[in-house]
């Protein structure tokens, strides 16, 4: 039984590009997407009735071309459907939130295009209400067409902060200040390398122009060292490159320290064998190289699936390699000026695992004994990465701090904390019960 030739998980640039290529080659394709609109992290479309947020011109043009091709392909997208895993019989398990049940789909190929997650470094007070990720604020703006209200501080590291600031301007509430750990303006030499990527330079200049014209302060080589709750709003304490402290009283804070592939709980890539579909990853969940590379990588994955399922193939590797070099240049340009390990400087009471309220001090105590705990023991005995996010936000930081605390010991990997078995996110028991009831009820008695 095959329900569809290729099931694609994620309606971002990678998933949509892969879908269009496969449809053109004559395969049946279906996309599942956990949210209510398509577009992924960068091109997320507004929900019904909300106005769209305009992107930089180049990004807008890329999205139009992809969206038009996708609309013409007529490929169905099932929204509010979340990839759970692939069972022993090779069936894809999907939590359908609208129907409130788990569905099973038989596919010959599966492309996982689930994007990236944001990295956020812990700081004292980062768990307070009103502190979120800058990318989270961005998704909210794109879906609702509204800027977050009140005075907003954006802080952390990387070009996304500038993009979010420019989008807030377009929606009528510019951020109060941007705090950036790197100093891309001071790294002029590294920036010259970007000239080889005119599309990135044009996009970056358009955001920088907006930030400059609206006189949004961009404090570089600086970082938020702690956040405190005030009677009204939040106070961010910022240390600049000369070690001086500055205080910002705001209503909200958006933190962001880069992105990393969202590979939590994904099954490994697999060539076709008797029991499994061909499983491939595409876009930022394979390698976080940005939206343009995600489109190329979606096409590459489609080519590989075609090669394996139908004996046809395509190549997009050269473009991906070019954009990989571009990301290296950006990483050098935005490298934090202060090279000291920010995790080792955190006071013991700083929360590391927000779901389970576990602190830096808790981790130090666990690691202080003669028998160094493994990542798995830190999870099971210390409850790090044990809460509802299952380590999506804390596993990297916890593993990095464990490595820094025991430099002579083999470093734990974040997967020791997140685990490698699916489902790696909590699922409602009712969804399994509904699926079971459906399977055990004769078809003519089922009401769907
Ligand atoms: C928060 C955030 C903000 C970003 N903002 C910008 C920006 O302003 N400018 C820029 O150039 N780049 C930005 N990036 C990077 C850029 O979005 C990516 O490079 C690009 O979108 C990658 O495309 P993708 O298709 O690989 O993944 P994505 O665009 O992330 O798409 C993945 C899709 O998969 C869906 N998904 C995830 N897990 C599941 C699941 N289990 N089941 C079903 N669906 C699932 C998601 O909802 C999403 O729609 C951002 C990245 C992040 C994480």
Strands 177-180, 152-156: parallel, antiparallel or unpaired by DSSP? parallel
Model confidence, pTM: 0.87
Confidence bin at 448 (pLDDT 50/70/90):
very low
Rounded Cα–Cα distance for residues 403 and 154 (Å):
29
Closest-CA residue, ligand 1 atom 3, reads 135
Residues 184 and 152 grouped into a single domain: yes
Place of tokens 């095959």: 2
Confidence of residue 287 (pLDDT cuts 50, 70, 90): very high
The per-residue pLDDT for range 369-423, each reduced to its tens digit, is 888 899 999 999 999 999 888 888 899 999 999 999 988 888 888 888 887 766 6
**CA 21 from centroid of its chain's CA atoms:** 24
Which residue from 308, 225, 291, 266 is spatially nearest to 56, judged by alpha carbons? 291
Say whether both 58 and 102 belong to one domain.
Answer: yes
Identify the band that residue 308 occupies on the pLDDT scale cut at 50, 70 and 90.
confident
- Residue 436 within a domain: no
96 and 188 share one domain: no
Residues 275 and 176 both lie in one domain: no
Does the bond joining 423 to the residue before it have cis omega, within 30 degrees of 0? yes
CATH at residue 35: 3.50.50.60
* 283 close to ligand 1 (CB < 6 Angstrom): yes
Mean pLDDT of the chain: 90
pLDDT at 303 over 70: yes
> Could you report the per-residue pLDDT of 83-94, keeping only the tens digit for each?
999 988 889 999
Question: Which secondary structure element, helix H or strand E, spans residue 435, and what is its range?
Answer: helix 429-440
Query: What's the domain range around 177?
Result: 120-257
pLDDT at 163: 95
Q: Give a yes or no: residue 423 inside a domain.
A: no
CA end-to-end span of the chain, whole Å? 21
Distance from the CA of 38 to the center of ligand 1, in angstroms? 10
Please name the helix (run of DSSP H) or strand (run of DSSP E) that holds residue 18, with its range, or none: helix 13-24
Atom number in ligand 1 closest to CA 81: 43
In ligand 1, the atom with minimum distance to the C-alpha of 135 is 1
Q: For Cα atoms 420, 426, 431, give the angle at the middle one, nearest 5 degrees.
A: 120
Residue finishing a domain among 329, 360, 383: 329
**Residue 312, pLDDT above cutoff 70:** no
CB 167 within 8 A of CB 206: no
CB of 104 within 8 A of CB of 91? yes
Residues 336-370 have pLDDT tens digits of 999 889 999 999 999 999 999 999 999 999 999 88
Question: Is 116 a pocket residue for ligand 1 (Cβ < 6 Å)?
Answer: yes
Contact 293, 15 (CB under 8 A): no
In this structure, the answer to whether residues 209 and 241 fall within a common structural domain is yes
219-253 core/surface letters (b: 16 or more CB in 10 A; e: else): bbbbbbbbbeeeeeebbbbbbeeeeeeeebebebb
Domain count, the chain: 3
Q: Residue 432 contacts by C-beta under 8 Å, 6 or more apart in sequence?
A: 101, 102
Is 397 among the domain residues?
Answer: yes
Mean pLDDT on 265-274: 77
Instruction: Tell whether 104 and 133 lie within a shared domain.
Output: no
Which whole-number Å values give the CA distances from 233 to 107, 149, 227, 228, in the listed order? 50, 12, 11, 9
């Amino acid at each position: 039984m095959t329900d569809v030739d290729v099931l694609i998980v994620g309606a971002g640039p990678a998933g949509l590009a892969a879908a269009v290529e496969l449809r053109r080659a004559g395969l049946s394709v279906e996309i599942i997407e956990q949210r209510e609109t398509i577009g992924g992290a960068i091109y997320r479309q507004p929900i019904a009735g909300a106005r769209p947020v305009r992107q930089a011109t180049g990004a807008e043009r890329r999205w139009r071309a992809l969206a038009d091709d996708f609309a013409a392909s007529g490929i169905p997208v099932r929204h509010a459907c979340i990839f759970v895993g692939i069972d022993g019989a090779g069936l894809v398990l999907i939590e359908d939130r609208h129907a409130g049940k788990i569905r099973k789909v038989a596919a010959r190929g599966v492309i996982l295009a689930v994007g990236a997650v944001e990295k956020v470094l812990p700081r004292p007070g980062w768990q307070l209400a009103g502190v979120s990720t800058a990318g989270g604020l961005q998704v909210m703006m794109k879906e609702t067409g509204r800027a977050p209200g009140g005075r907003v501080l954006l802080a952390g590291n990387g070009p996304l902060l500038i993009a979010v600031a420019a989008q807030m301007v377009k929606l009528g509430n510019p951020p109060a200040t941007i705090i950036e750990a790197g100093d891309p303006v001071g790294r002029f030499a590294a920036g010259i390398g970007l000239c080889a990527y005119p599309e990135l330079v044009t996009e970056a200049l358009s955001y920088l122009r907006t930030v400059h014209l609206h006189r949004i302060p961009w404090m570089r080589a600086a970082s938020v060292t702690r956040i405190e709750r005030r009677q009204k709003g939040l106070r961010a304490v910022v240390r600049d490159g000369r070690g001086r402290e500055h205080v910002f009283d705001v209503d909200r804070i958006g933190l962001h320290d880069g992105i990393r592939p969202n590979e939590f709980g994904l099954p490994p890539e697999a060539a076709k064998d008797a029991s499994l579909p061909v499983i491939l990853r595409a876009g930022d969940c394979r390698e976080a190289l940005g939206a343009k590379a995600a489109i190329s990588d979606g096409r590459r994955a489609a080519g590989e699936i075609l090669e394996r399922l139908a004996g046809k193939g395509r190549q997009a590797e050269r473009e991906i390699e070019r954009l990989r070099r571009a990301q290296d240049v950006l990483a050098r340009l935005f490298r934090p000026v202060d090279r000291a390990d920010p995790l080792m400087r955190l006071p013991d009471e700083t929360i590391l695992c927000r779901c389970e309220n576990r602190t830096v001090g808790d981790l130090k105590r666990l690691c202080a004994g003669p028998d160094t705990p493994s990542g798995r023991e830190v999870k099971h005995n210390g409850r790090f990465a044990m809460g509802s996010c299952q380590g999506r936000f804390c596993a990297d930081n916890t593993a990095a701090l464990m490595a820094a605390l025991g430099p002579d010991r083999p470093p734990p990997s974040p997967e020791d904390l997140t685990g490698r078995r699916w489902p790696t996110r909590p699922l409602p028991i009712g969804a399994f019960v509904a699926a079971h009831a459906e399977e055990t009820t004769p078809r003519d008695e089922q009401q769907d």
